[in-house]
Amino acid sequence: MKSYFKKNKYEIIITFLMGIFVLFSHIYDYKTGIDSARNFSESIIEMISFLPLIFILIGLFDVWIPRGVIEKHLGENSGLMSIVWMILLAMLQAGPLYGAFPVAYMLWKKGTSVRNIFIYIGAFTTMKLPMLSFEIGFLGLKFSLLRTILSMPVFIIIAVIMQKKFGKSFSMNDGKH
Amino acid sequence: MLILAIVTALLLIISFIFNATKTISALRIALRMFLNLLPQMIPVLFFIAFILALLPPEAIEKYMGQDSGITGFLVAGAAGSVALIPGFVAYPMAGVLVKNGVSYPVISVFITTLMMVGILTLPIERKFFGWKVSITRNILSFAAAITIGTAMALLWRFL
């Protein structure tokens, strides 16, 4: 608990300052401040009632999905199935884009083709399952489906362009220098 | 919302029947993620609430709404390319923006650039791929985001 406060000390200070700002807005009848407090409380109530559900789904997903099955197929480079395995691998990840680069490096070391590396990056950025559950929750199924379906061919095209342009000279570093 | 609650409850019960320990560790993961997210989200949501209180709804409608055209895409694309907001914060934020008149295609450009384009993380990316590959990937991804947004705008009305 103590380390939790320590880790989030800036956020807690900001939250405290926000509270003071709202308090003074009410005292001096500052309309923008009062309106922001109202906007904020509406959205935070929605988040707090909604987020635990999504996180429980992500938690269940995390403990039940067999990652090993996919990892077995990572050496494959050609054919449609290798694209499918790349996308599946990426969908099971979480975290920011720069978290994908070390994985891409590992894939490259294992002999994954340039095209498949960038398919991995593309799927990682647009199709991670935990993110999709968030997206459906906050923006709706229609938006999420449409965006995903449109993104897939686009990042595959990017991967093919990258393969054409850099295929022969492509190399990666471990990111340490 | 109600459907989500029912589905989650059902899955939780099924999971518990099959394997109680696994289910408890799933709940632990959920709690940890929630507690990690909350402090990050409060300032961002307040900032958005403040900006929305400051801007008249007509301005949002004009620059990022249904008929904002290429202006909306470029504003959203530029914001998404430089912002460093984790997805778990970005989607709730996008939800608030949509409720306040920002159109879905504009949001798709924002989300796509946020995820695929990283100008501030370029120095990290180039350590793995080198400058040439990294810059090419980012430029192609920006173009991809605008393409996806345009396709969204064309298809949205028909679906």
- The per-residue pLDDT for A76 is 65
Q: Which of residues 144-173 of A touch B (CB under 8 A)?
A: 146-147, 150-151, 154-155, 157-158, 161-162, 165-166, 170-173
Can you list the residues of chain A whose pLDDT is less than 70?
A: 1, 75-77, 177
- The per-residue pLDDT for B18 is 92
What residue of A is the nearest CA neighbor of B104?
A143
- The per-residue pLDDT for A177 is 62
A66: left (phi over 0), alpha (psi -120 to 50) or beta: beta
- The per-residue pLDDT for A94 is 74
Domain definitions of chain A by residue range? 2-50, 67-166
- The per-residue pLDDT for A100 is 85
A111 C-beta neighbours (distance < 10 Å), count: 11
**Predicted confidence (pLDDT) at residue B23 exceeds the cutoff of 90:** yes
Between CA A153 and CA B144 the distance in angstroms is 10
- The per-residue pLDDT for B27 is 94
H-run or E-run covering A10 = helix A9-27
Please tell me whether residue A78 adopts helix, strand or coil conformation.
coil
Q: Which of residues 1-60 of A touch B (CB under 8 A)?
A: 4, 8, 11-12, 14-15, 18, 31-33, 35-40, 43-44, 46-47, 49-60
- The per-residue pLDDT for B66 is 78
User: Which amino acid, one-letter code, is at A123?
Assistant: A
Render pLDDT for B139-149 as a digit per residue (tens, 0 to 9): 999 999 999 99
Domain definitions of chain B by residue range? 55-156
CB contact under 8 A, A175 and B124: yes
Helices (H) and strands (E) in chain B, counts: 8, 0
The model's confidence at residue B43, banded by pLDDT at 50, 70 and 90, is confident
Q: Which two tokens stand for residue A69?
A: 């099955």
Cα angle vertex B87, ends B86, B89, to 5°? Answer: 75
**Predicted confidence (pLDDT) at residue B138 exceeds the cutoff of 70:** yes
B101: left (phi over 0), alpha (psi -120 to 50) or beta: left
What residue of B is the nearest CA neighbor of A127?
B115
Between CA B22 and CA B24 the distance in angstroms is 5
